[in-house]
Amino acid sequence: MNETVQPSFKPGDRVVVRKAWPLGHIRTPHYIRGQVGSIERLCGSFPMPEELAQQRSGLPAQPLYRVRFLQRDVWPDYRGGADDALEVEIFQHWLDPA
């Protein structure tokens, strides 16, 4: 019995955050859905909060990544540096290859 989903991304991989608004407890912020970023690191694997919030085990554990986005991509009116970045921790099932 495998209680952990295998990581499918590695640092540097380009990913797009799924653009979905399901009901329930979602840890992927609204403002980042649909954005393209790159994997900064794998933080580990954890039982899924979306399931834990519904009295279930959250298993198998899902890989959680720190994903880096450019501020100017996320905020259309961003006036800071072109390389300024924003990092968000996002579970693997919210990410697709970009």
Partner 1 sequence: MIERGHHDMGGMPAGKVEPVEHDYEEWERRVDALMILLSGIRGGNKRMTVDELRKNIEALPPEAYEKMSYYERWVTSITQTMIQRGVITTEELGRKMQEVQARERDGAA
Chain residues in the site for partner 1 (CB under 8 A)? 21, 23-26, 29-31, 49-50, 52-55, 58, 74-75
CB of 6 to partner 1, least distance (A): 23
Alpha-carbon span 15 to 91, nearest angstrom: 12
CB of 40 to partner 1, least distance (A): 18
The H or E element containing residue 74 is helix 71-74
Nearer to partner 1, 11 or 34 (CB): 34
Nearer to partner 1, 31 or 44 (CB): 31
22-26: long-range contacts at Cβ-Cβ below 8 A with a sequence spacing of 24 or more?
A: 24/50, 24/53, 24/54, 25/49, 25/50, 25/53, 25/54, 26/50
CB of 56 to partner 1, least distance (A): 10
